[in-house]
Structure 1
Amino acid sequence: MPRWFGRSRSRSGDTSGTSAESEILEPLGVSDDLRLAYGRTGDLKLLRGALQAAELGVEVYPVDDARHASALSSLCMLHRLSWERDRGSADLIKAVDYGRRAVDKSPPNDRELPRHMSSLATALQEVYDSTEDEESIDEAIALYRGCLDLMPAGRGKQGEERVGQESNLANSLLRKGRSSGDGDILNEAAEHARAALRDTPDDHPMHPVRLVNLGGVLLGLVQTGHPEHLGAAEDMYTRALREFPADHPVRPGVEESLITIKGLREQFGI
């Protein structure tokens, strides 16, 4: 699942002061820190605190301040995290609403705009997973494409974030391609998944995830009538199993995919 767990760059745009106290009291910064802590611990109190701080940010930052859009985007992300935890439909509705508002209120040349677009796209992808609403996945795909258009290729943090958007786009295209059986869409998904894997170092914690993502796209191609990708799909999943820790929650799904591949080998006589 695509996520932004990094610290918001818009915190650096705070001109109200540079002391440690002003940083602590800055609502967006507090929300960011609580969200990151929630990501590490899963403590519901931290998630609720992050929501409250982001809500305060929407109130105190002027509409023409980039931090106003960032606070809205944080609410999009936080309500999506709440949805992932409790599956409350109201949270997913709020996530999409705040995401749209964040993109709409983002000022010209806002360097955080790709993040806002990504947060909205991820919420829309969740809508599709829950409802199979085609418009939601189409909009998510368009938003991820827009992120890539806005993010320059390069190294360092920017380059890493662009790779993440390549992977996000591949996953959305996989969803649409599987539901429609459209090989062209799945081939495009494979292109982006390969690009994301290519640009992810072997020792990066996301490397096994990127292997699984490409394996999933290739398996989707096999299941839509292209058995020539079966060996490559199996290789991706096998490599991912070697890289994931023994207690990683993704492992059972990867093992199940390998069982599926074994059955397909018997079916195709490969």
Structure 2
Amino acid sequence: MPPTADDPAAPLSVPARPELTGGRRIGVLLSHGFTGSPVSMRPWGEHLAALGYGVSVPLLPGHGTTWRDLNTHRWQDWYGAIVAAFDALRAEHDAVVVGGLSMGGALVLRLAADRDADLAGVMVVNPAVATQRLDVKLLPVLKHLVPSFPAIAGDIKKPGVSENGYDRTPLKAVHSMMQAWPVIRSDLARITVPLLYFRSPEDHVVDGSSEPLILGGISSTDVTRVELADSYHVATLDNDAPAIFEQSAAFVARVTG
């Protein structure tokens, strides 16, 4: 069953309040990560919404249900949902900034490469476009033999906090995500808009291979890197979440001003 409207895993949609943003309607699209849900993005989205920004946090296909359901979906489904959410925001706002966590970061980087002229800026938190794990080379075979691996969700340093992610990692779905990475990397040079890059040095899900590829691959000359020293992978719910919220709010105000 998909989440109901009052469930934290449900999509978040908050209208813009231009009286708080200098008379302009500013939209922000935020994407959760693989096996996660809007739970991981809701506090961030609500913080930006309180400042007057129109916020959209879609629930990606196959998420918020079961990992078996996710295993029936592919990268094209998740990217299609992000494009649809972006187009809806763009139609109703003067400017739009996009942001994402983990796979959500990869999705918005793909969007930025495709729609650079339509964006005001990009924000990513521990994005993944590569991995050093050797077992991924076996995914083309393993995905037909084993339906899932142990969970990757819940990598949070702060005690007592959960992102309500899946307890298993579906292999057909994760293989589809990783198959999209080489094309994303090859198209990073198309990104010229400002980038705000948040990175946790201790991340047990996304290793250090993605960062140099992203920061070295984009063409933007307006790049800000922020280290999240007291958080693990799901930093949007972790100890450094306030820093993400505050610095992203300042970034949105600057790039849309």
TM-score by length of 1: 0.27
Judging by fraction of residues, say which structure has more helix.
Answer: 1
Computing the radius of gyration from Cα coordinates, the structure with the larger value is 1
TM-score by length of 2: 0.27
